[in-house]
Structure 1
Amino acid sequence: MSSGIEVSGSQRRPGIWSYFSFSGPRRRVSVSLPRNSDPNRGVDDDDDPHAKAARHSRNRSSYSDAFMNEHKGGAVMNQGQRLRYLKTGGVIAFILLVLYFIAPSDRIPRPGAVSTAPGGNAATGEAKAECTKSYHKDKPLYQYALMIDAGSTGSRIHVYKFNNCGPSPELEKEDFKMTPKKEGGSGLSAYADDAEAAARSLDVLMEVALKSVPKEYQSCTPVAVKATAGLRKLGEQKSNDILAAVRRHLENDFPFPVVSEEKKGVEVMPGEMEGVYAWITVNYLLGKIGGPDKNPTAAVLDLGGGSTQIIFEPTFPDTPRGGLPTKLAEGDHKYELSFGNRNFDLYQHSYLGYGLMEARNNLHSTILANLHDTHKDNREYLKQPIVNPCIPPGMSREIEVHMPKGHALGDSLTVNMTGPSTSAPTQCRGLAEKTLHKDDECAIAPCAFRGVHQPPFAQTFATEAVYLLSYFYDRTQELGMPESFTLRELQDLADKVCSGEKGWDVFSAVPQALDELKGRPEWCLDLNFQFELLRSGYGMPIDREVKIAKKIKGNELGWCLGASLPLLEANSGWQCKIKQVQ
């Protein structure tokens, strides 16, 4: 089967986009005739051919009175009635003739027209078109797909509804639900020693699917589960046990067909695909791929709990200039994508162990490792509060810290960490930068961090849009940051948060912000890590503008939409279930 997404060279991946091209004509729209809005009109007036607007009724009454005063006698009155009937019949015939020529032949909207249906906007063309027939003979008018994102901190379900009114599927609706938060996380990895409990943890999500997908569509609505960073860290045996339990539970206890093992329906998703799918989702919803827009694409940076991804389309000069090559170097970081009749050479990398939750532990373990290097075998300091510059003054927290494998302090230990007497955001950023290991050996220069090659961001992606997703959004939007801001403004925000309660008056106008800050000493660390990841890690200039987003056009961002689209096509690894007779 030919593929719409193709990978060539050493990094060619199996094609997944064989099913359709995203380009296609604009959907057709319809004209709806406005209804009479006279408040005096009766509810049954539509059925009365003599019922007109109020002013017409009054005119007819006056005319009838004058006629009756001038002509006495039943014969004349009958003649007047006949004349009135003839006139009324003529008006009705004229109206029907007009309706015949201007009304659509069916409910499928006519090309170029604009809907004025309730909720629409005739001036802007925002009204949704309506159709009753699928564009493709082999596809139903509506299709649903279920995608479960089994992340490190919790699992989430996305219930997508598409229509096939045009040559390519159009996302019409999305329902979204996350497993309830709990201490230690609510993701599959939280049930490392109980695979069956891990599978049952998805029940609350599947209930949403049962309610969102009409019963007549459920047996032909595929479901896939993609686990990410959290499950990767459990090890192969435990993660395989959990995935097998999840597959059994979904196949046996729910009406939805599960995508086959061959098509990776329930899997630990490779990190690079997480970034690629997120990039497709964002740029598809922005209209930058799969349509007429040929403008530069947007970069996508995703910060999860266990890992972080970066993916963008770098541009290079036609001839070597300023040390820049003319194309993206070969390697695992290169992903060649063919999409919507365009080819993209994408840079991508997924950093396992640098999601926000892992970043916290990295920093805490760095503090303890530094103290151990200073005190050696004297561990009395572990019994005292340990000063942490990433905690605001006056705050403290009992923290379980997991140390690197084989460390002298053991695998893990719980300590009390407290903020300094005065805020120290600069020291916090220094620790955050240290966790990035910028000095690791760089095999293919230049490198971002951990010895991973990356084209210089400032030179190869200088002006295009940068979208920050997931925890980037959560940690900034909740404190009142706008949709667009610079890295310098992010640094200023971190400084205010790290200053402690005396500097938090600025957040008093932001709903729930003060409660969040008072309840979570980690805010200072989180913001400083994000800043250092963007500036020191990825090499963004401090005045570079970035955008945070959770949704585009009402649709949740992330990799799930990009991974769900292939499920709409034949040969994507599932078949409709046989409906059970009740």
Structure 2
Amino acid sequence: MTVSSSLGTSEAIHHNLLRVVEDLCQQTSNQNSHYEQLSNMYTVFVESNLAKPLSGALTLEVSPTETAQDVVNNFLLSLQREDGIPGLAIFDKNHRKLDWDTTLESQGILEGSKLYISYDSQLHIRPVHIAVVGIITVIISSILLIAASVLFGATGGDIPFDYGIVIDAGSTHTEIFLYQWSGSKQLGTGKVHQKSFCKNDEGIADVPDPDTIVACVRNVTNSLPSDKSISPVLYLGATGGMRLLNMSSSMDSDLILMALKYALSTTPVDVRSVGIIPGKIEGLYSWITTNFLTETIQQEKILDTYGALDLGGASTQYAYALDINSTKNYSDATLLKLYGHEYYVRSESFLCFGLSKAMDRNQALIFMDQNEILDPCLPLGYSAKKKAKSFFQNPCVYNEYFAKWLREHPKEDEKIVITGDGNYPRCQKYVQKLIDEENCKISGFPECLHKANITHHNDRYMAFASFYHIVTYLNGSGSLEKFIAETKEFCNLTWDQVKERSHSKGELSHLLTYCFGAVYVTELLVSNYGFNYVSWRSISFKNRIKGADVGWSLGYMINATNAIPEESPTPPVISLTVFVPLCILCSILILAAVMLLRKTLRFITHKKYYVLADF
């Protein structure tokens, strides 16, 4: 046991001695290696292409076993920069980039080699690149922001136009008007403007052919924008001629209106109403038209309005607004709500006292008063034949006394010869008899004209339709004296002289009625309505104002807009839910790019380059 223990101890001491010897040999080897390395050191010249304070040139002692990274770190240490700068690279004199982790010796760097420190173009983005990116970002974001603002602010919010068609189906003609107004309206009422017009020189009561009216409707709708969603509302109002037909044959008038309604439904319109309008309502609509075109009902406060005087072919109307501050009884007036104001308008219509029907009745009175049919209101030398049947079928002429006269004279299917006499005093005498209410009732006519002194209710009036055509033709709009003088001269013209004044067949047919018409207008306005030589000057004779026809149809459309809902504004090209996030994104990009540019500019001013990671 003792021997064995001694042997074990001896082996352990021997092993420790071997280790000590090995350590001493290793230290000697390292020292020799270090001395060998020091003996192999050589000099290289390093130049920096960086901006100050990293620029300059140094001579460094390097070992062949050092790497390119060691050279750069030693260079920075010599400049007292212990922290590394990312993105640097080192190049030889041939501009060859040295491998970062490979020894100098293996890359051919020898004594006296010249090396250059710079940024690695493959890894580094210079401030100029950052500036370009920032500028491009600002430009693109700004353009996008401006475009979004324009698309949202300038393209949306438009109020589309509404469109409507009114057909004035009169006794002697049919007129089709296309109107437009802004869908926003003014205090509930549309500011209506005439856009297109078509006319047919026949009344629907005489020629119940819907084809010409349908053709006119298609003609005016051709001027609409090419938007298939546009479907103008359409109203047809039949006036005096159809009122008379309804009196004599309600079945015929109903059939005509039904045929028209069906035919109009085939056109690209929204047919709202096809019917006969009462004469009183026709007068009200004429009043609206008159005061709309003269801009007396579109104001913030109520202004003095015009009265309206209408002379059609089968009826005549007047209308005026009552003074709302007076204590008058409004029971016979109609309340109109227009552009935020209320107006009480009184209107009256006289059927059978339009120009055409009044002339028919005047001739009937002449026939009943004499054995020969000699009309003093027609020019001397004029002669024509007229079927007696036309008088039988005319409700404005036919009564029991006239029927008795016809039974004693020509038969219904015979023709009556009408001869002109051209006598102003006798023409005036018959016209005065025609408009006399008492004589009208004695003669047995159901429709009579009574006196209504309307000059006390309104200071100014607008006269249109046949009032305008007759008075302006005879240059009597400014003076009653001149109008009467011109009427006397015209009534004394012969038929040949009248034809010389005519330029067309249509004009000649009108001129044939102007002697009677002028006398009739004078007696109607002076004897029945109360105008005189002074108040005559308060009448404005107009047919068109600001490109729109004066008549009841425009007033009808204006009043109808009260019941038509307002249009909603059109949406913008881009919605609010897209516009707001887009604005926020563009603003963030612009702000970030501006901050980047400011920092880059500050660095460039101090002549420093930094890598992208520094930002």
Superposition TM-score tier, normalisation by shorter sequence = 0.5 to 0.7
**1:223 pairs with one of 231, 234, 247:** 234
2:520 is paired with a residue whose SS is: helix
2:424 aligns to what? Answer: 425
Partners in 1 of 2:475 and 2:490 — Cα distance? 13
1:459 aligns to what? Answer: 456
Alignment of 1:18-417 (within 5 A): 140-164=159-183, 167=186, 169-179=190-200, 181=201, 186-191=202-207, 198-216=209-227, 219-235=230-246, 236-251=250-265, 253-259=266-272, 265-292=273-300, 294-314=302-322, 326-328=327-329, 330-331=331-332, 334-371=333-370, 381-382=371-372, 386-400=373-387, 402=391, 403-406=397-400, 407-410=403-406, 414-417=415-418
Question: What letter is aligned with 1:562?
Answer: G
TM-score when normalising by structure 2: 0.57
2:114 aligns to what? Answer: none
Deviation at 1:480, TM superposition (A): 5.8
Partners in 1 of 2:440 and 2:366 — Cα distance? 23
Deviation at 1:293, TM superposition (A): 5.7
Please say if residues 153 and 305 of structure 1, whose CA atoms lie closer than 8 Å, have aligned partners that are also in contact.
Answer: yes
Deviation at 1:229, TM superposition (A): 1.0
Question: What letter is aligned with 2:235?
Answer: A
2:217 is paired with a residue whose SS is: helix
Distance 1:569-1:288 versus aligned 2 partners, 3 A rule: closer
Deviation at 1:350, TM superposition (A): 0.8
Distance 1:399-1:568 versus aligned 2 partners, 3 A rule: same
1:437 aligns to what? Answer: 436
* Identity of matched residues, %: 23
Distance 1:470-1:496 versus aligned 2 partners, 3 A rule: same
Distance 1:314-1:493 versus aligned 2 partners, 3 A rule: farther
CA deviations 1:51-89 (Å, max 9, x no partner) are: xxxxxxxxxxxxxxxxxxxxxxxxxxxxxxxxxxxxxxx
2:448 aligns to what? Answer: 450
User: What is the number of residues matched between the two proteins?
Assistant: 394
Deviation at 1:567, TM superposition (A): 4.5
Larger radius of gyration: 2
Question: What letter is aligned with 1:309?
Answer: Q
CA deviations 1:90-144 (Å, max 9, x no partner) are: xxxxxxxxxxxxxxx97999xxxxxxxxxxxxxxxxxxxxx97667xxxx51111
Please say if residues 306 and 352 of structure 1, whose CA atoms lie closer than 8 Å, have aligned partners that are also in contact.
Answer: yes
Structure 2 portions without partners, runs of 5+: 1-148, 392-396, 442-446, 566-615
1:234 is paired with a residue whose SS is: helix
CA deviations 1:508-564 (Å, max 9, x no partner) are: 9x8949994698432211111111111122222244222211111111111111111
Q: Following TM superposition, where does structure 1 have runs of at least 4 consecutive aligned residues deviating by more than 6 angstroms?
A: 105-109, 502-505
Distance 1:529-1:535 versus aligned 2 partners, 3 A rule: same
Question: What letter is aligned with 1:524?
Answer: C
1:526 aligns to what? Answer: 517
Structure 1 portions without partners, runs of 5+: 1-104, 110-130, 192-196, 260-264, 319-325, 372-380, 443-448, 573-582
Which piece of structure 1 moves more, 534-543 or 224-233?
A: 534-543
Partners in 2 of 1:570 and 1:314 — Cα distance? 24
